Amino acid sequence: MSGPAGCDLCRGTEDPKPNRIGGLDLCRRCYDGGAVAAAHARGFGLWVKLSAIGTDNPIFLVRGTASVPRPLFNASFRRKGPRSLLAAMFGMTLRVQDPLFHELGVIVTRDKARTRRFIEADAAQSAVMDLLGEDVSVTVREGGQIQVSGARKHDPFDQSAIERELAVLLVHLDGYAP
Ligand SMILES: [Zn+2]
């Protein structure tokens, strides 16, 4: 809105036209492939790997791990599937206001109070939605570890988009105060 702002990920570069993603402003360098390096420079773990099974009708896979140096909460933000339906049956799902969120996925947790404190912030919620929109599920552990995973047909995953969106999520998680 006003003058040039710093980048919310690397905190270094001033960019007159930052890219808004997941409630944060990212400079061009972080947006265009520099997200992993910027996350590592902040002391976050971030590693994402793509693979595929089969050649004729391949199934594309993504796996990743990340971490922030602070206590978090126990929750999974999952694309809908048989496991998430089962969790709903057992009362382990958490609802938020935004119906768009629930079109993309479900929140599975027994740690509802702490999870709610995180996911009720709009910016954090949009960061999780970005990853769900890439067909990526996210699991957060109270020790500060994060895992991402996904499998789909037809389209390979976009590694740099997932890295960027995961880095943004880590910034939000790093600001979490239980
Ligand atoms: Zn940056």
Q: Which helix or strand (DSSP H or E) is residue 167 part of?
A: helix 159-174
Q: pTM value?
A: 0.92
Mean of per-residue pLDDT scores for the chain: 91
Residue 158 CA to ligand 1 centre (angstroms): 19
Q: Which helix or strand (DSSP H or E) is residue 166 part of?
A: helix 159-174
100 has pLDDT over 50: yes
Q: Which of 121, 106, 114 is nearest to 73 (CA)?
A: 114
Residue 56 CA to ligand 1 centre (angstroms): 39
Residue 176 CA to ligand 1 centre (angstroms): 20
Residue 113 CA to ligand 1 centre (angstroms): 32
Confidence of residue 63 (pLDDT cuts 50, 70, 90): very high
Residue 23 CA to ligand 1 centre (angstroms): 14
Residue 9 CA to ligand 1 centre (angstroms): 5
Please list the alpha-helical segments (H only) found in the chain.
28-29, 35-41, 82-89, 99-104, 112-119, 122-133, 159-174
Residue 88 CA to ligand 1 centre (angstroms): 38
48 has pLDDT over 70: yes
Q: Given this model, what pLDDT does residue 6 score?
A: 85
Residue 108 CA to ligand 1 centre (angstroms): 32
Q: Given this model, what pLDDT does residue 15 score?
A: 76
Which residues have beta carbons under 5 A from ligand 1 (an ion)? 7, 9-10, 27, 30
